[in-house]
Amino acid sequence: MSHPNATLTPRTRLRLARLIVEQNWPAAAAAKMFMVAERTARKWAARYRDEGQAGMLDRSSRPHHSPNRTSEPVVRQIVVLRWRHRLGPVQIAGRLGLAASTVHAVLTRCRINRLSRIDRVTGEPLRRYEHPHPGSLIHVDVTKFGNIPDGGGHRFVGRQQGDRNKRATPGLPKGKDYKPLTGKAFLHTVVDDHSRVAYAEIHADERGDTATAVLRRAVAWFREHGVVVERVLSDNGSAYRSFAWRDACTELGITPKRTRPYRPQTNGKVERFHRTLADGWAYARHYQSETERRAALPDWIHFYNHHRAHSALAGQPPITRLTNLPGHHN
């Protein structure tokens, strides 16, 4: 279809070409009548001679050969990562060693680029805030994952085989219906607001003394990386409203803050990290047991901090933002 300001539409091109080819008008005279260049008039006349009326239609401006175009195998890799893992252009580029702009162009061409500026769960526009330096604020929270029975859980082996694996796993307690219970793993997570560097521990509960102990170890871990924690943001769970939590924060010289009730978006960085954690570690592959999955957590945390491209950090891993040298932010 011609653009709105086109001088010649397909019907007008046909009239121009017929004047030259069938009525033997000079190309210059026909061009003057239709107010186009003589070269343009000759072009449409030549197409009319070769192709007839069909030659008057618009043609694609796409080149016949694009030697630098992304190869089809790479395009398939990009599409697979997009659909199976719902990764963004920066994450896909980090995995495949490509430019994020190249990945975005492929996603646009394949019409699967709609997740670039919206939250993948809520569909709302992304609203990002960021504290000025590492340690200015850390986010803490607890997420839960069902333990995996020996042989694998139902997500990978199906419900029936998953139930058989539960019954075959020794030492599991029985519920009210006499079915074995695998229990839950409570993952205590800490994420630095500025750098997105993460720290995580797995425990059997989310009580106040457990959360407090995790906070102490996390603060010490960040200190080893040159980060002095100043504030901590949590939700309104009982562990974070306890006297033990308050006293620990006072002892560590940290200001405790809590989110507004029913407003988890305030703690959005750690909530988003939990989704990344689930996709990249908890449900990333078929684990034969809970012990195997827990053993894989330290390596995944290292990958996340040191190697995984982060879309909020211009494609760089979180560890690159730990520049808390003495006096650097004074």
How far apart CA 232 and CA 237 sit, in angstroms, is 14
Residue 106 lies inside a defined structural domain of this protein: yes
In this structure, the answer to whether residues 142 and 271 fall within a common structural domain is: yes
Spatial separation of the C-alpha atoms in residues 282 and 263, rounded to whole Å:
25
Q: Is residue 123 part of a domain?
A: yes
CATH number, position 286: 3.30.420.10
Q: Could you give the angle at which helices 89-96 and 72-85 cross, rounded to 10 degrees?
A: 130
Q: CA 190 → CA 144, 198, 229, distances in Å?
A: 14, 6, 11
What does the pLDDT profile of the chain (330 residues) look like in tens digits? Answer: 555 566 788 999 999 999 999 999 999 999 999 999 999 999 999 999 999 999 998 888 878 888 888 899 999 999 888 877 778 899 999 999 999 999 999 988 887 777 655 455 554 555 667 888 999 999 999 999 999 999 988 888 898 998 888 888 888 888 777 788 888 999 999 999 999 999 999 999 999 999 999 999 999 999 999 999 999 999 999 999 999 999 999 999 999 999 888 777 788 899 999 999 999 999 999 999 999 999 999 999 999 999 999 888 888 999 999 865 444 444
> Is residue 45 located within the same domain as residue 78?
no
* Domain region containing 43: 10-56
- Residues 143 and 291 reside in one and the same domain: yes
113 in a structural domain: yes
- Pair (86, 45) in one structural domain: no
State residue 83's pLDDT score. 77
Burial of 126 per CB tally in 10 Å (0-12, 13-18, 19+): middle
One domain for residues 51 and 105 = no
Tokens matching residue 96: 């495949």
Residue 172 falls within a domain, yes or no?
no
Q: Could you give the number of structural domains in the chain?
A: 3
Do 222 and 289 lie in one domain? The reply is: yes
CATH number of the domain residue 82 falls in: 1.10.10
Residues 258 and 289 placed together within one structural domain of the fold: yes
| Pair 278, 250 in one domain | yes
81 and 196 belong to one structural domain = no
In a domain, 162, yes or no: no
233 & 289 share domain: yes
Q: Is the entire prediction scored with pTM above 0.75?
A: no
C-alpha–C-alpha distance, residues 77 and 69, integer Å: 15
Q: Do 214 and 282 have their domain in common?
A: yes
